[in-house]
Amino acid sequence: MKIKLSNKEIGGLLNRAAQQLDRSTLDELRTARQHALKNQRVESAIWVSRNGLLHGQLQLSQRALNWIIVGVVASLLVINLTYWERTYEHDHSDIDIAILTDDLPVDMFVD
């Protein structure tokens, strides 16, 4: 049977287990933790939130963030419309089929 524990519950269990350790073991664990944190390479990602950029120096207002989102959506819309127009523009197969299968002269289809 599997038991699911939340992060808080696991943290509580670890804290209670740590209270049962002797002082020298706790000191060694603390020293090892500090050594590991000191040598750890941290690569911070930039996350966009309502309050601006987290872990970065630039702060964006909600209004600026909204304009960025509107710009991206508008750009994608223009790209999709341009692509759709170009693919639709070069499709003359319906006219070719009508010319080949109909008894009307070609002059009737030319505008």
Q: Report how far residue 27's alpha carbon sits from residue 46's, in angstroms, rounded to the nearest whole number.
A: 35
Q: Which amino acid is at 23?
A: R
pLDDT digits 0-9 by tens, 52-103? 544 454 566 788 888 999 999 999 999 998 888 777 666 677 777 777 787 7
Give the pTM. 0.31
Q: Report how far residue 18's alpha carbon sits from residue 6's, in angstroms, rounded to the nearest whole number.
A: 18
